[in-house]
Structure 1
Amino acid sequence: MNSITGVLLAGGESKRFGEPKAFAEYNGRKLWQYSMEVLKVTTEQQIIISHQDLLKEFQKATQEKILTDDHRFIGDGPKAGIYTAMKNETSEWFVILSCDIPLITADIIRRLLTYIDSDKKMIIPKIEGRVHPLIGVYHHSVFPIIEEQLESNDRKLMTLFDQVNVCFVTEKELQSDAKTFSNINSRRDYGMLLNNGKITE
């Protein structure tokens, strides 16, 4: 069993962005590549969970293992992506990163990993009071809970927090600030990123 698998989530439809944001460019690289580069230096193996429409584009761009949502839960959001990764990969821990956080750093993930212990099932940043479940560390034991929730049509990641022991880590503990955790949801976010390297919520 590998101890840590990195999971890049790129299964969303990017409706607010207007086009597949994973392949939008920033400083000469695609947005998804920033998360993958972080995963490569912090985890033992990596996997991409792709939207079906992006599968061929990812296959042309990388040699990494690429999957689409499990057939039982196609289109059921990030929770379905995490389920798919855990169903197909054998690891004790999974580092989850979305494809739209180009300012994330390997140091952030390394600091999150230092909070691993036998009692904690999820390690999640809580930055200025806001929880970031798509920049997190998940223990494999949450898999059956995720499956049960998806079978009940519960797509919300936050409901998972109610059933497992979660360790929330603040920006002070991570020695970072809020902008590092910002994700590109809209064209406005993207424009701010391109203009001055900062993203406003």
Structure 2
Amino acid sequence: MNLSAVLLAGGESRRMGEDKAALLFHGTPLWQIQLNCLRKLQPAELLLSARIDPHWRPRDIRFVADAAPSRGPLSGLAAALEQTRTSHLLALAIDMPFMTHTYLRALWGCGALPMIGDRAEPLAAIYPAQAGVDLARVLQGNDFSMQKLTSRLVAAVKLRVVAVPVTEQNLFRNLNRAADLE
């Protein structure tokens, strides 16, 4: 599968109170943890989506500005899908430091949307470039739910669901509050 990867780093971090990307997790900034994870996959291209080009972005990572106005991760994913040069795009959120390249590589082989129970995990998933049209359409509306969007993509057979085993559900934990860093 011809695959690109995007690190979604455009969130406002309202609950955290500061930019998540620069937060240290076990002594390493979240942005570095996540980019290292994605680099191990050796994607055809590596993108960083954010509202503004962050000072910490390595030069070899292509910056993609979130689609305006900001609608959370949907804006970043839409912008990255619009600019990707490959048939598929692996998306990974900045605040999921428990995710491993091993798990993502297994997803790579499936081209899929992880599900925990009946809840999609759209911020560590693989999207076909053709889904960009669907995301652009959602951005023109007034319902920006990633859960509803991914349900529609599954129904349209653009995403394939992969159940996440109980033993791997911890990989999808995200950091929203300072207490989550402990």
Kindly provide the amino acid, as one letter, of the partner of residue 22 in structure 1: A
Structure 2 residue runs without a partner (length 5+): none
Checking the alignment, whether the CA contact within 8 Å between 1:3 and 1:92 is kept in structure 2 is yes
Q: Detail structure 1 runs of 4+ shifted over 4 Å in the superposition.
A: none
- The answer as to whether partners of 2:122 and 2:150 remain within 8 angstroms in 1 is no
- Whole-Å Cα distance in 2 between the matches of residues 183 and 79 of structure 1? 17
| CA-CA distance at 1:154 after TM superposition | 2.7
What's the TM-score, normalizing by structure 1?
0.80
Alpha-carbon distance in 1 for matches of 2:55, 2:117: 36
TM-score, normalised with respect to structure 2? 0.88
The reply to whether residue 139 of structure 1 matches residue 128 of structure 2 is yes
Whether the aligned pair in 2 keeps the contact of 1:83 and 1:146 (CA below 8 Å) is yes
For the Cα contact (< 8 Å) 2:7–2:35, is it kept in 1? Answer: yes
Task: List gaps (5 residues or longer) in structure 1.
Answer: 117-122, 192-201
Alpha-carbon offset, residue 128 of structure 1: 4.8
Q: How does 1:12-161 map to 2 (within 5 A)?
A: 12-42=11-41, 43-52=43-52, 55-59=53-57, 61-70=58-67, 73-116=68-111, 123-161=112-150
CA root-mean-square deviation: 1.9
For 2:113 and 2:151, the matched residues in 1 are separated by: 13
Cα contact 2:115–2:121 (8 A) shared by 1: yes
Instruction: Report the identity percentage.
Output: 25
On the 8 A contact 2:81/2:131 being kept in 1, the answer is no
Q: Take 1:115 and 1:162, find their aligned partners in 2: how far apart are those partners?
A: 17
Greater helix percent: which structure? 1
CA distance in 2, matches of 1:154, 1:78: 13
SS of the counterpart of 2:152?
A: coil
SS at match of 2:56: helix
CA distance in 2, matches of 1:186, 1:16: 6
Q: How many residues align?
A: 177
CA distance in 2, matches of 1:27, 1:63: 25
| Alignment CA distance shift 1:81-1:56 (3 Å) | closer
Computing the radius of gyration over CA atoms, which structure comes out larger, 1 or 2?
1
